[in-house]
Structure 1
Amino acid sequence: MCLLVGPAGVGKTLLLKRLQFLSGKDKLGDMEEAPATIPTVGTNLVNVQVGKKTELTVRELGGSMGPIWHSYYKDCRQLLFMVDVSNAAQLSASTIQLLTTLTDDRLQDVSVLILLNKVDLPSSMTLTELKSLMRLDDIVCHAKQNVTVLEISAREGQGLVETIAWLKDNNK
């Protein structure tokens, strides 16, 4: 099972809807306008096609569930951690949640994809700014896990094909 976590409002539900739509498509050009979403209260399970005959279940955990995310780590094989790069006020809390998540012993053998979402917005921080503010290079270097960082826009579709490819390549 793959877990999708991150603070409230970072775009987790929209990402799942987009991945579900894309998993059966060959091109981003077929993507419709971004669907409306409401904040997830609790969990949300979605199956995503990552290969011709490979389907992966992704469990989204609502941002407000942060204090109990750890109770879902047991069956986790992959972890998607989403950050809103347009929300500077939330960045320090996101970094603390990321560090807390990465240091949990139950996740030491899990592949991790940090998704820097909302890069399409004018208020988004650059990758250089994020690397400095979050100390991303240090996090990636010192994590027990294999950590990948990807800039995406769940709304516009940027990076979603790469996200599916990562899910496929890291499906254990």
Structure 2
Amino acid sequence: MCLLLGASGAGKTLLLKRLQKLCQMGAQEDLGEAPVTLPTVGTNLTDLTLRKRKITVRELGGCMGPIWPKYYSDCRSVIFVVDSVNTVQISSSCVQLLSVLSAEPLQSAAVLVLFNKRDLPCTMSLVELKALFRMDDIIRSAPQSISTLETSARSGQGLQELLSWLFSHRSHDTG
């Protein structure tokens, strides 16, 4: 199982819907208009299937941060979504990420830090975001395999790369 985590409003629900659509289409095509989403209160459990390979993704609402650890035991990979436009939220997202990385059940999980909303104006550059998060230090000191990726769930930027990462780090789900 893969956990999809991040602060409220980071774009997790839209990201999951877009990944579902990409898997259903089977090839990179125009994703069309982004669907309307509401903040997740609770969890969304979604199976993504690509070329007869399946992975289960559990999205946990950002407001559920205090109870995220209850879901760590069955987790093989983590996608941590950061809103790269919301400068007010950056420091709290960094604290959340460090908390996730320090959790004992996640010590062997593969982790992908997604800098989302790259299509919007006034977004911080990837260099700025990595510097604020001190990503080089985090990657060097964490026991997990950590990758970073820029995405835009709205435009589809980076979603094929995200699917590739997801399926290369999947647990032994069916397929």
TM range (shorter): over 0.9
Distance in 1 (alpha carbons) for counterparts of 2:132 and 2:51: 39
The aligned residue for residue 121 of structure 2 is 122
Report the equivalent of 2:61.
Answer: 62
Say if 1:77 and 1:171, in contact at 8 Å, map to a contact too: yes
After superposition, give the CA deviation of every residue in 1:82-132 in whole Å (9 maximum; x if it has no partner).
Answer: 000001100000000000000011000100011100111112100111111
Report the CA distance between 1:141 and its aligned residue. 1.4
Match of 1:131 in 2: 130
Taking structure 2 as the reference length, the TM-score comes to 0.95
SS of the equivalent of 1:34 reads coil
Tell me the C-alpha RMSD between the 2 structures.
0.9
Corresponding position: 1:3 with 2:6: no
TM-score in terms of structure 1 length: 0.96
Q: Distance in 2 between matches of 1:155 and 1:73?
A: 28
Q: How many residues align?
A: 171
2:28 counterpart residue number: 28
Find out whether 1:47 has 2:53 as its counterpart.
no
Structure 1: gaps (5+ residues): none
Instruction: Look up the SS of the partner of 1:23 in the other structure.
Output: helix
| Displacement of 1:27 | 3.7
Q: Secondary structure of the residue that 1:88 maps to in structure 2?
A: coil
1:152 aligns with 2:151: yes
Distance in 2 between residues matched to 1:42 and 1:134, nearest whole Å:
27
Moved segments of 4+, more than 4 Å: none
Q: Note the residue ranges of structure 2 that are not aligned, 5 or more in a row.
A: none
Separation in 2, partners of 1:115, 1:30: 21
Is the 1:28–1:157 contact (alpha carbons within 8 Å) kept by the matching residues of 2?
A: no
- Structure 1 residue matching 2:153: 3-state secondary structure: coil
User: In the alignment, is residue 90 of structure 1 matched against residue 89 of structure 2?
Assistant: yes
CA deviations on 1:50-95 (whole Å, 9 max, x unpaired) are: x311111100000000000000000001100000000110000000
Corresponding residue for residue 38 of structure 1: 38
1:100 lines up with 2:99 in the alignment: yes
